[in-house]
Amino acid sequence: MTPKGGIDTHESERSSGTPPRARSETFWRDRVRPLWEAVEWPLVGLLALLALGLGIDGFRQHLEASGQSHSASDVLYRTLQLFVLESGWDSRGVNWELGVARLLAPAVAAYAAVRALGAIFREQLHLLRVRSWGNHVVICGLGRKGVLLAEAFRARKERVAVIEKDEENSAVRRCRDQGIPVVIGDATDLAVLRKAGVQKAKCLISVCGEDGVNADVAAHAQELVAAKPRRSGFLRSFVHVVDLELCTLLRDRVAVAGKRHSFRLELFNVFESGARGWLNEHLPFESAGREDGRPHLLVVGAGQMGKSLIVGAARRWLTLHAGAGPRPRITIVDREAERRKDSLLLRHPQLEQVCELVPVRTDVTWPEFEEGRFLFDAEGRCDVTTIYVCLDDDVRGLAAGLDLLQRVREHGVTIVVRTAEKAGLAAALGSERPGGDGLELLHAFPLLDLTCTPEQLLGETPSERLARTIHEDYVQREREKGETVETNPSIVEWDELPESLRESNRRQADHLGAKLKAVGCGSAPLTGSEAEPIAFSPEEVELLAELEHKRWMAERLFEGWTHAPGPKNLERKTSPALVAWEELPETEKEKDRATAGQLPACLARASFQVYRLEEGAVR
Closest CA to 369 of 300, 441, 418, 443: 300
Closest CA to 162 of 144, 177, 147: 147
**Bridge partners of residue 331, in order along the sequence:** 298, 358
- Whether the CA torsion 267, 272, 278, 284 is positive or negative: it is negative
**Confidence (pTM):** 0.70
- For the ranges 29-43, 422-436, 567-581, the one whose mean pLDDT is highest: 567-581
Closest CA to 141 of 180, 105, 185: 185
Q: What is the mean pLDDT of residues 309-328?
A: 81
Cα 603 to the center of its chain, rounded Å: 25
Amino acid identity, residue 257?
A: A
| Comma-separated ranges of CATH 1.10.490 domains in the chain | 461-612
Residue 121 near residue 85 (C-beta atoms within 8 A): no
pLDDT value, residue 188: 94
Residue range 190-213, pLDDT digits in tens: 999 999 999 889 999 999 988 889
Q: How many CA atoms lie within 13 A of 304 on its CB side?
A: 15
How many other C-beta atoms are found inside a 10 Å radius of the C-beta of residue 549?
A: 22
Residue range 179-189, pLDDT digits in tens: 899 999 999 99
What is the per-residue DSSP string for 291-327? TT---EEEEE--SHHHHHHHHHHHHHHHHHHTT-SPP
Grouping H, G, I as helix, E, B as strand and the rest as coil, residue 208 is: coil
More confidently predicted of 433 and 170 = 170
Residue 222 near residue 250 (C-beta atoms within 8 A): no
In CATH, what class is 286-451? alpha beta
Distance set, CA 36 to CA 41, 133, 360 (Å):
9, 32, 54
Residue 362 near residue 404 (C-beta atoms within 8 A): no
3-state secondary structure string across 77-112 = HHHHHHCCCCCCCCCCCCCHHHHHHHHHHHHHHHHH
pLDDT value, residue 256: 43
Distance set, CA 541 to CA 114, 384, 592, 618 (Å):
74, 37, 9, 19
Strands 386-389 and 414-419: parallel
pLDDT interval class at 152 (50, 70, 90): very high
Amino acid identity, residue 27?
A: F
Architecture of domain 133-268: 3-Layer(aba) Sandwich (3.40)
Q: What is the mean pLDDT of residues 355-380?
A: 92
pLDDT value, residue 289: 47
Asked whether residue 594 carries a pLDDT value surpassing 80, the answer given is yes
Task: Choose the weakest-confidence range: 289-298, 331-340, 359-368, 400-409.
Answer: 289-298
Average per-residue pLDDT in the chain? 82
Cα 59 to the center of its chain, rounded Å: 65
**In this prediction, what percent of the chain has a pLDDT beyond 90?**
29
Q: Which residues lie below 8 Å from residue 348, measured CB to CB, with a gap of 6+?
A: 311, 314, 558
More confidently predicted of 204 and 41 = 204
pLDDT interval class at 618 (50, 70, 90): very low
| Comma-separated ranges of CATH 3.40.50.720 domains in the chain | 133-268, 286-451
Grouping H, G, I as helix, E, B as strand and the rest as coil, residue 203 is: strand
Task: Choose the weakest-confidence range: 67-81, 258-272, 549-563, 571-585.
Answer: 258-272
- Cα separation of the two ends of the chain: 14
What gap in Å lies between CA 583 and CA 586, rounded to an integer? Answer: 9
Q: Provide, for the chain, the percentages of residues in helix, strand and coil under a 3-state DSSP scheme, each rounded to the nearest 5.
A: 55, 15, 35
What gap in Å lies between CA 3 and CA 466, rounded to an integer? Answer: 18
Count of residues in the chain = 619
pLDDT interval class at 424 (50, 70, 90): low
Asked whether residue 98 carries a pLDDT value surpassing 70, the answer given is yes
Grouping H, G, I as helix, E, B as strand and the rest as coil, residue 11 is: coil
pLDDT value, residue 31: 73
Residue 444 near residue 430 (C-beta atoms within 8 A): yes
Asked whether residue 542 carries a pLDDT value surpassing 80, the answer given is yes
User: CATH number for the 461-612 domain, one of 3.20.20, 1.10.3470, 2.60.40, 1.10.490?
Assistant: 1.10.490
Residue 147 near residue 164 (C-beta atoms within 8 A): no
pLDDT value, residue 264: 79
Cα 191 to the center of its chain, rounded Å: 28
